[in-house]
Every structure is written in structure tokens, then in C-alpha cells.
Amino acid sequence: MQGLMMQQPLLVASLLTHAERHHGGQEIVSRRVEGDIHRYSYRDLAQRARGMANALAALGIEQGERVGTLAWNGYRHMELYFAVSGSGAVLHTLNPRLHVDQLAYIIEHAQDRIVFFDLTFLPLIESVASRVKSPKIFVAMTDRAHMPTTHGLSSMLMCYEDLIDLHHDVFEWPLLDENSASSLCYTSGTTGNPKGVLYSHRSTVLHTYAAALPDSLNCSARDAILPVVPMFHVNAWGLPYIACMVGAKLVFPGPALDGKSLYELIEAEQVTLSAGVPTVWQGLLAHVDAIKGAFSHMRRTIVGGAACPTAMTAAFRESHRVEVLHAWGMTELSPVGTVCSLKAHQLSLPVSERYAVQAKQGRGVFGIDMKIVDADGNALPWDGIAAGDLLVRGPWVAREYFGSEGQSPLRDGWFPTGDIARIDADGFMQITDRSKDVIKSGGEWISSTDIENVACLHPDVTTAVCIAARHAKWDERPLLLIVKKPGSGLDANGVLAFLDGRIARWWKPDAVVFVDTVPIGATGKVLKNQLRDQFGDYYLTA
């Protein structure tokens, strides 16, 4: 027997409509690329998003077509989140930290029709434009007064504020199929070319409900939320959508992500909740300590993207009365998978035991099923001891990558995360290692194989192996191990100079170590685990 409830599709635009109706006066504050602070309300956001939806229609953007953004966290980016997805097109957020060749690959692969960009990225856009065929239109996210007068774009360059001014703000959000695509984010987390994760309206709205819950990111109408995590990295962990759903004030930091700028914004805007990777918080804590400052309103901070060290949890709590919410997720999971919020019986634990719990990545939010398996795929017990491959499934987990022609990454219907974890009897998951061969530095991925492939092009290199080595500031940095040709006089500077220009600047290993051999396993693969054991602390001890 069928239930007799309404079939109301779950659509991204409905989050904005809700925010306008119920929280129209709530503020959105942005530090702009132009240098000043901009503030307006959800009412203004909704009105301008409708204007931009009309502009997109006038530019001939059709449902399902991709619209790229290369932008910081700010109100214009937020308008595009809703104008693009709400009108049925697909918001493709581009990561400006990628090498220009990778960006060009991604834009071509996604077939972006238009790319919107913040002025900071004009030089990057100029380099990309000469390498791609797909976007015919570029839009600078600024007003007429700040438009670049000279530029190297042969394609059409338009002005964001002109588009808004020219178009009417009356627009009916279309009643889309909730399973249609809403946004696209590429991840370079695994080997080979970056892969696109294509979210749907349904997956986005369901994720928003789950991520907002008290034991998840715990967001409400009484919060002022500052997402430091970029809107180009998994939709800023969903916070732009969550803020609309709950009516929270939003505070966008723009390009100023240093400790001083963040602290000033947090204080001026009475931020209660912030979110970012550990590296960002190190800068913030160092600044606040240096000026002997305090947080007047901030009580919680979400730390994810990389493991949160206990020292950071303790520093926030003991020096600043700020609770760390440790969370784990992935681009393929929209991204929230687990959040480390304590259960009632853990509240009375001695501090050191509480910290031990908070070092774990947390409990699965409702909607995410998890299991850990051994090498044969057998499920392992949740005893806090057994560690195995972490697999997940759920309505906001990717089942396939964009344009991969039906090739499924799934194993028996489960998504293999590439993380190795144990799960305790209370359901708290803790990552112990990683089976995927990548390096996560300051919250962003570096492909070890890409570095190895480039290094191997050097005529004096026999073998190049790149591993993740622990780093005090960046969590991990690449370390390059080289076996050189006999008799070669190659030195570290020679290797690093060779990498210059061939990989993104921040991908360049901090050190090169010459070795006589590297360990090879039975299947002919380099045993990176052994090398990680041997050299993993290189930057901590060097």
C-alpha cells in the first residue's frame, strides 16, 4: 500500500525561498575582494539570485548545463549557488589552488558554458582561457568601477553587477525533478585525472537536514556562522545551504584567511560557530595568543578535512572556552559522514579521556551507513581495536563519477573511502591510516603519482617515490625519495628546479632524499607503507 503524503520534490531553491520567507532580515556579511565589508539580508540574496537566474536564462544557459565559479567565500558566490542550481543548471565550483593544466582539464571535462571568477583570479583565468575551448563567456564578479580595463581574454568578458542590474528580479524557480543534478565538485584525491562528483537536489537537501542536526554541525537561527572552508571545496561543507535552512547569520571571509583577519571578523560579527581545516586554526590560535585576545561569542568550531590534533582541541577549550567539533567527510559524501559529538555518558569523563574521544572522527550521522572490512571484504567488529577499509553508503554518497560512463567505484553497493579506520562500541569511528596514495596538505590534495611521474621524466632519475610526511603546520607535506642513475651528480636542487612549472608551486616537495633502493612488494608495487614508517617523521625530526 502506498503512503498518502504529498510528493514535494526536495529542491535547492526551496532552501532560499524558506530563508527569504522566514529569515528575510537575517544578515549575510562578506569581506570582499575589493577590500571592504559588504552586508545585506537573505531578502536581498533571494532578490539578486532571481535577477541572476534571469541573466543566466538570457545568456542561453539551459537546464543541466554547467556553470563554473572560481571564487572565494562571499555573497556573490552564494547568489550563484542558488541562481545556477535553482534554475536547473549545474553549479561547478572550481578550486583555484589547482595547477592551471588541471583547471583547464576540469573545465573542458565538465564542458562549462560560463565561468564566473573573483578579480583575484584574473591572471589564472587568463592562463586557463588560452588552454580551453568550452567556456565562451567569462564573468568578473565585481561592479563596473572595478572591471579590468586590459585583459588577455579573447572570449567575452562580462561584469557581474551589470548582469544583475540589467535583469528583472521576478523569477519562478522551476519545479525540477529532485534527482536532477544541482552542483559539481571535482576531487583530485585519487590517482589519475580529477574526478567530478555530481550532487543532486535531493542529495543536497537531505544532506542539509542531516548536517544541521544538534549532534551533527549543530546549527540554528541563533548562530552566526563563519565558513573558512572554501565554497569551492565540497560546497563549504554544506554550510551555505544549512544557514538558509536554519536562518543563521552568515559571515564570509573572502580572500583574507590569515589569523588576524579571521579573528577581527569573528569578533566584529559576533561569530558563534566557524568551520575549517586544522591548518587555518593554527594561524588563528597563534594570532589570538600573540595579542592575548579572547573570543567573545565563538563557542564552537568545526574541524575537519584532516585529523584534529588533541593539542588543538585542548587549546581551544582550555584557553578560549571553544568546543571543537571534529568531523570527517569527503567530496564524495557531500561531505558530512561522521561528527564527534559526545554521548551523555561521556560528558563526565576525565578531561584526558574526553580528549581521547574527541580525537576520533566521530559517529555516523543518520543517513550514512558505515562498515569496516578486512582484505577479503569481511565485516570487522566495532570493538575499537580491529581496523579495516572504511566503506560507506547513503543517499548523499556518490555512486559514480561525472562522465565516467557507467564505471562504478562501488564495492557491492558500498563506496570505498580509501581511509582505514576502527569503530568502537559506541559507534565512534577513528581513522588510523589511508590506503589511497595521496597527500593532504593544509586541507587540499596533492597527487603523489603526479609528482612521481614528472620527477621520472628527469634523465638522471631511475625511480621516484613521493610519500606523505607529517608536518607541524600543514599536517602533511610531500617528501620525494629518488634513486638516481649510477654516476649521476644530480642533487636535491636539481630535482626541485626540474619540477618548477611542471606542477603547482605548493605541490613542490619540501625535501628530496636520495636512496639506493626502494622496497618492492610481491606484485611489483613500491611498498609505500614501509617508506612512510621510515621517513614519515622526516619533517618533524629534520
User: Taking a C-beta distance cutoff of 8 angstroms, is the pair 119, 146 a contact?
Assistant: yes
Interface with ligand AMP (CB under 6 A), residue from 50, 92, 195, 434: 434
The binder of ligand AMP chosen from 52, 80, 273, 431 (CB under 6 A): 431
Annotation marks residue 328 as catalytic: no
* Segment near ligand AMP (CB under 6 A); pick from 57-65, 328-336, 375-383, 494-502: 328-336
Catalytic residue at 445?
yes
Give 147: exposed, middle or buried? Use CB within 10 Å, 0-12, 13-18, 19+.
middle
Strands 181-187 and 112-117: unpaired
- Using Cβ positions, the residue closest to ligand AMP within the complex turns out to be 331
Q: Is 328 in the site for ligand AMP (CB under 6 A)?
A: yes
User: Which residues is 447 bridged to in the sheet?
Assistant: 438
Residue 417 touches ligand AMP, criterion: CB under 6 A: yes
Core vs surface per residue 54-85: b (16+ CB within 10 A) or e: bbbbebebeeebbbbbbbbbbbbbbbbbbbbb
Q: Would residue 343 show up in a list of annotated catalytic residues for this protein?
A: no
Q: Does 187 bind ligand AMP (CB under 6 A)?
A: yes
Shortest separation between residue 485's beta carbon and ligand AMP, angstroms: 35
Among 235, 331, 334, 358, binds ligand AMP (CB under 6 A): 331
Alpha helical stretches, state H, 41-99? 42-58, 75-86
Indicate which residue of 332, 444, 452, 476 is catalytic.
332
**β-bridge pairing 511-514 and 475-484:** parallel
Active site residue 187: yes
Gap between the Cα atoms of 482 and 461, Å rounded = 7
Which of residues 254, 335, 367, 478 is near ligand AMP by CB under 6 A? Answer: 335
State the number of binding residues for ligand AMP (CB under 6 A): 21
Handedness of CA 194, 195, 196, 202 (dihedral sign): negative
Told to check if 189 binds ligand AMP by CB under 6 A, we report yes
Q: Which listed residue (305, 364, 442, 478) binds ligand AMP by CB under 6 A?
A: 305
Give the N- to C-terminal CA distance of the chain in Å, as an integer.
68
Residue of 440, 484, 508, 528 marked active site: 440
Q: Which of 396, 445, 474, 507 is catalytic?
A: 445
C-alpha cell at 38: 559588504
User: Least separation, in Å, of the C-beta of 361 and ligand AMP?
Assistant: 5
User: What is the rounded distance in angstroms from the CA atom of residue 423 to the CA atom of residue 373?
Assistant: 11
CA distances for 372 relative to 159, 414, 429, angstroms: 50, 11, 10
Which grid coordinates are listed for 377?
Answer: 571484504
- Tell me which of 129, 288, 307, 451 binds ligand AMP, using CB under 6 A: 307
Q: Does 252 bind ligand AMP (CB under 6 A)?
A: no
Nearer to ligand AMP, 86 or 443 (CB): 443
Interacting residue with ligand AMP among 389, 419, 450, 452 (CB under 6 A): 419
| Residues near ligand AMP (CB under 6 A) | 187, 189, 234, 304-307, 326, 328-331, 335, 361, 417-419, 431, 434, 440, 445
Q: Return the active site residues.
A: 187, 332, 440, 445
